[in-house]
């Protein structure tokens, strides 16, 4: 035991090693970040160094931001203001919604499934076959026994025909249903209106299902499109709750997501116990929660402003269209959904996948990957990628095609 302790002490850093290590990782991150093409994260967060004075404090938003008394140092007032601001983006009056900040949309999706599970006895969870893995995980955590996956079309949207067919086959009393605003692999938007009309035509009443919207990606896109063409928000009465991530589109240093739920729905659910040790109703998944990120998120949204978000969103979506066209002009079979920053293309060599932090998706039509044209993905870097892509494809080719 003594030796073991001594060994640990020998590994203590000198202050020089300590700052070298910080420098080393910062350098690595600076070199890599402009090549992070593949995961839906906006790496444009340089301006967040403004918040460094806050790193000298522990900000713990312990419990519920609306009713909790909190730990010692909290940012509850900012967290509540964030909920109210974002509620407006999703077309609901701030007095009609409750919400809080999570470490990511996996948690916010889990919270949605959890509320559906507390509303019904033995419901069936209905998701698309391209839904984020967090739903199957949430089903396991909440002991939801039945999960039905609906086929998606070539664009990645839930197929209304299969939705209807599966609802007929899996007829039961209650459902938890999730629609998607900006799917993981193709950035697709589900057609909520058509899917809801399927439910209505089958005579499935709203009292029989809980509807969650996974807007992890699309939640920071659709509110900033002119004339709200997709309407994936609380203007759809049937939607009970939603998730929206901020690290995906806004640009913040740590992952973060908001869970929002209609108070009208919450009022039909069982009450939460009171957590005496931190003087709060136990409404949140986490106990101790990050108080830094909701502040950063609110400040950035207020600094950029609605009009700023509109123009940023336009820019990113135009860059996706531009990239898709550029690839197609080079005989690469690329595609891109409307209003989506996601460009799908045939997978390149594994070396290029690794260099540009791209995922590999297998499909019967051939392996593919995707690029998200976030702010930090610059056109110069894209040209370099394209050169390498074309080169590696031509050297891989065996004989004429
Ligand atoms: C990223 C994503 C999630 C999960 O969010 P995390 O913040 O990574 O936990 C869920 N759904 C969709 C559609 C996503 O894009």
Instruction: Supply the residue whose CA is at minimum distance from atom 2 of ligand 1.
Output: 216
Q: Which residue range is the domain that position 79 belongs to?
A: 57-301
Residue 179 lies in a domain: yes
What total of structural domains would you count in the chain?
Answer: 1
From 40, 102, 105, the mutation candidate for ligand 1 (largest count of ligand atoms within 8 A of CB) is 105
pLDDT in tens, 252-305: 999 999 999 999 999 999 999 999 888 999 999 999 999 999 999 999 999 999
pLDDT in tens, 212-235: 999 999 999 999 999 999 999 999
- The reply to whether ligand 1 has any atom less than 6 angstroms from the CB of 180 is yes
Residue 220 lies in a domain: yes
Residue 265 lies in a domain: yes
Residue 99 lies in a domain: yes
Residue 338 lies in a domain: no
Instruction: Supply the residue whose CA is at minimum distance from atom 9 of ligand 1.
Output: 106
Residue 313 lies in a domain: no
Q: Does pLDDT of 51 surpass 90?
A: yes
Specify burial of residue 287 (Cβ count, 10 A radius: 0-12, 13-18, 19+).
middle
- The reply to whether ligand 1 has any atom less than 6 angstroms from the CB of 255 is yes
CATH number at residue 170: 3.40.640.10
Instruction: For residue 255, give the ligand 1 atom closest to its CA.
Output: 7
Instruction: For residue 217, give the ligand 1 atom closest to its CA.
Output: 15
Residue 7 lies in a domain: no
Which pLDDT belongs to residue 70? 81
| Residues 284/63, Cβ–Cβ less than 8 Å | yes
Residue 148 lies in a domain: yes
| Residues 214/192, Cβ–Cβ less than 8 Å | no
- The reply to whether ligand 1 has any atom less than 6 angstroms from the CB of 167 is no
How many A from CA of 391 to the centre of ligand 1?
33
| Residues 214/84, Cβ–Cβ less than 8 Å | no
Better-predicted residue by pLDDT, 399 or 282: 282
Q: Is 31 left (phi over 0), alpha (psi -120 to 50) or beta?
A: alpha
Give φ, ψ of 23 to 5 degrees.
-60, -45
Instruction: Supply the residue whose CA is at minimum distance from atom 15 of ligand 1.
Output: 184
| Residues 186/40, Cβ–Cβ less than 8 Å | no
């Amino acid at each position: 035991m003594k030796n073991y302790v001594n060994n640990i002490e020998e590994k203590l850093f000198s202050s020089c090693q300590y700052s070298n290590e910080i420098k080393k990782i910062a350098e690595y991150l600076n070199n890599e970040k402009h090549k992070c093409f593949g995961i839906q994260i906006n790496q444009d967060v340089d301006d967040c160094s403004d918040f460094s004075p806050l790193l000298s404090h522990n900000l713990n938003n312990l419990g519920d931001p609306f009713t909790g008394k909190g730990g010692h140092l909290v940012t509850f007032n900012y967290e509540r203001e964030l909920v109210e601001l974002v509620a407006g983006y999703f077309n609901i009056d701030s007095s009609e919604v409750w919400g809080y900040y999570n470490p990511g949309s996996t948690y916010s999706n889990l919270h949605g499934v959890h509320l559906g599970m507390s509303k019904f006895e033995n419901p069936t969870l209905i998701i698309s076959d391209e839904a984020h893995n967090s739903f199957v995980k949430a089903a396991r955590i909440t002991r939801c026994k039945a999960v039905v996956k609906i086929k998606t079309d070539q664009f990645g949207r839930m197929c209304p025909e299969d939705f209807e067919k599966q609802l007929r086959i899996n007829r039961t009393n209650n459902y938890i249903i999730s629609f998607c605003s900006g799917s993981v692999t193709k950035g697709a938007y589900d057609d909520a209106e058509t899917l809801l009309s399927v439910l209505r035509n089958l005579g499935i009443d709203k009292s029989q299902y809980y509807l969650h919207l996974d807007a992890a990606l699309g939640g920071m896109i659709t509110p900033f499109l002119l004339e709200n063409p997709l309407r994936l928000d609380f203007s759809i009465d049937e939607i009970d709750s939603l998730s929206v991530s901020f690290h995906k589109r806004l640009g913040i240093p740590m992952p973060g997501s908001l869970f929002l739920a209609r108070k009208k729905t919450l009022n039909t659910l069982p009450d939460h116990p009171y957590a005496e040790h931190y003087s709060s109703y136990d409404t949140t998944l986490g106990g101790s929660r990050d108080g830094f990120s909701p502040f950063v998120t609110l400040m950035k949204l207020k600094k950029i402003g609605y009009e700023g978000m509109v123009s940023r969103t336009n820019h990113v979506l135009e860059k996706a269209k531009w990239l898709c066209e550029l690839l197609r002009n080079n005989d690469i079979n690329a595609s891109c959904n409307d209003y989506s920053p996601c460009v799908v293309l045939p997978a390149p060599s594994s070396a290029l996948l690794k260099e540009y932090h791209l995922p590999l998706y297998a499909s019967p039509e051939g392996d593919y990957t995707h690029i998200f044209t976030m702010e930090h993905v610059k056109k110069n870097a894209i040209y370099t990628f394209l050169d390498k892509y074309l080169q590696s494809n031509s050297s891989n080719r065996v004989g004429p095609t």
